[in-house]
Structure 1
């Protein structure tokens, strides 16, 4: 299952030139932003997504921007899917330097209202999918002394209500990052995580529609309201998370491993208390 398009990037700041990156969840949202940034900086990108439609769209967009990409698709919680994604990288580009795991889903509910099936679904994509990708990719990344970057969330550290499965899964990813970083250091591989705050993605907009009357105006107002929770006063754009990932995958971050980089616009730096109004 694959799709190929694109030409080599012609730019002056190709910090990832000659490198090959597999981005799971790379066809939409944060993952797409990451794939576009890395391609713009010279990497050959393998875009993995759930369905061919969105993968083809992202691969085409990267190619139209002058980047180089190939695509694979399938359920990320199945071992064969990640094996095929890694094989696609090796077939197309002959190597694999970096893995970025951005595939993720969010479901709502507390410990009573969340079904066992929903719990397993969230952990299947958010945690099992990351492990399977690392399991398949790391033998090749070790050869290149490359990197793994795991997209976690601020909700691994602080949580809202009614997201018990999502929050638990993101906490697991932070623990997995530490374990992988310690193990892979012996192989010259660095492993880090990025913890975004609210990012303007299809998943965020779906949530905004759920918690508003659902009109386009109401969705925009809800997103703007969520943005004001961040010290910078807005939600992030996917490419801003891509820039954080690009840094961690670059030689500029050569002494950083086992770290969690918060790209949250100051969300967790801020407390809820407000100063009293001046007279």
Structure 2
């Protein structure tokens, strides 16, 4: 199973841009690459901040760009989105009994869990007691399956201070409580929000953040203060990125590809057969 993840698209950041806003151009580029790359994708997952302002027009524009894709698509909440706008443009999206955009399903022996970490009053994450209880019940209902979790906000500190959560925030304690007793089954947690790739852990579980489709956050790990604007770079036009997550029934592995112009410098033809054959033979010679 292959899951493509795109995150932080931010359609509508420049609603009056002509002929087309930068974020929409970057979104188109990633969609084109996903369709042209050689790996058959089983699911495209948009993990939040699909829009910049949560407005219906931006959600509609996003949905229109997805109509020609020949793969299932699921969408998730980010702090810039609105539940009403998302469900209006993507009415097939599943919600849980409390109205949060959360869902889970089993595919190829893997429990895939999508969480809603959005609070309309907050820039950072949220995970209330109702969401905690839903997660705990979902994990308990499938006690023997490996799990992968997708959520918008990373439950980890990257060192990019202005984007990081407070590790003492109650939402993280609620998330940990929802995971309690199931940590060893969770293969990994995959997020967005930070607009930059980083890897960490939470409750002993690997956490990976996929870089944004919209412009990236600059990798500046120096302390920052609202009292001293120091002219540092905050946002850059580094290439948009998507992730490709592979589940083979045993291991969950993640790849990341930047989308930009590049040249192929080696094609697999007869001249490279000896190299491939040598690598095959080397692996086959391993005695278990």
The bucket for the TM-score relative to the shorter chain is 0.3 to 0.5
Using structure 2 for the length normalisation, give the TM-score: 0.38
More helix as a share of residues: 1
